[in-house]
Amino acid sequence: MYQVNEIFYSLQGEGFWTGTAMVFVRLGGCNLRCPFCDTDHSARTPMTAAAILTEVRRIGGAVRRICLTGGEPSLQVDPALVELLHGAGYVLHIETNGTRNLPQGIDWVTLSPKEDAAGVQGNGRVVLEHADEVKLVFLGTDVERWASFPATWHFLQPCSCANTDETIHYIQAHPHWRLSLQAHKYLSIR
């Protein structure tokens, strides 16, 4: 059984795939406690992999992308779930804090490190060695070592839309970063 917080159909609001339709499978639980966390990642519903697939098909229709998120999805995502969803024809994205190794074969890895964030409870040390994109919540601290993390894209994202101007100014001075906005919040969608 997987402990599921919610499954919903929306558009990706952050990073490279902004604007792309996906089914979001939010898994309950996180190994960190970040003071700025605005996500409800409590576990609500125990579901089998087959039940997750059924719900994804029901709400997602023709869409073929799933974003595995949380909480920290690596606490629960395992080869069996990856194999089932791949076998059903889905492209799998994952949004992770990078503190745990991932099962093989996930198609798009978004690393959102919390290692340097002040006030984080838990061991936020990143063990992943590469990702497709780094998406860093900008808290005004030194972020430059993440700019060279092995990834194709490097995004800075304001913290809950509160420091957007500061983030823009930082990117103007450090143009190897790109801006990621939480577009879903501006659009008032999930």
Catalytic residues: 24, 30, 34, 37-39, 95, 184
Question: Which among 137, 145, 144, 150 has a CA at the least distance from the CA of 32?
Answer: 137
Binds ligand SF4 by CB under 6 A, chosen from 60, 71, 73, 113: 71
Stretch of 69-77, 103-111, 141-149, 172-180 lying at the interface with ligand SF4 (CB under 6 A): 69-77
User: Phi first, then psi: what are they for 94, rounded to 5°?
Assistant: -140, 145
Instruction: Tell me how many degrees the CA angle 82-85-90 measures, rounded to the nearest 5.
Output: 115
Nearest distance in Å: CB 69, ligand SF4? 8
Residue 33 touching ligand SF4 (CB under 6 A): yes
Binds ligand SF4 by CB under 6 A, chosen from 15, 70, 73, 113: 70
Q: How far apart are CA 181 and CA 158, in angstroms?
A: 7
Stretch of 43-51, 59-67, 70-78, 175-183 lying at the interface with ligand SF4 (CB under 6 A): 70-78
Number of neighbours of residue 161 by Cβ within 10 angstroms:
12
Q: Are 63 and 47 in contact (CB under 8 A)?
A: no
DSSP strand pairing (178-179 vs 2-11) = unpaired
Binds ligand SF4 by CB under 6 A, chosen from 114, 128, 151, 167: 114
Binds ligand SF4 by CB under 6 A, chosen from 11, 37, 171, 183: 37
For ligand SF4, the closer of residues 37 and 168 by Cβ is 37
Nearest distance in Å: CB 139, ligand SF4? 12
For ligand SF4, the closer of residues 86 and 100 by Cβ is 100
Nearest distance in Å: CB 29, ligand SF4? 9
Residue 97 touching ligand SF4 (CB under 6 A): yes
Binds ligand SF4 by CB under 6 A, chosen from 4, 23, 27, 30: 30
Question: Which among 146, 17, 131 has a CA at the least distance from the CA of 74?
Answer: 131
Binds ligand SF4 by CB under 6 A, chosen from 39, 42, 48, 160: 39
Q: Which strands sit side by side in the sheet containing 133-138, from one edge to the other?
A: 45-47, 2-11, 21-27, 65-69, 91-96, 108-111, 133-138, 153-158, 178-179
Buried b (16+ CB within 10 A) or exposed e, 179-188: ebbbebeeee
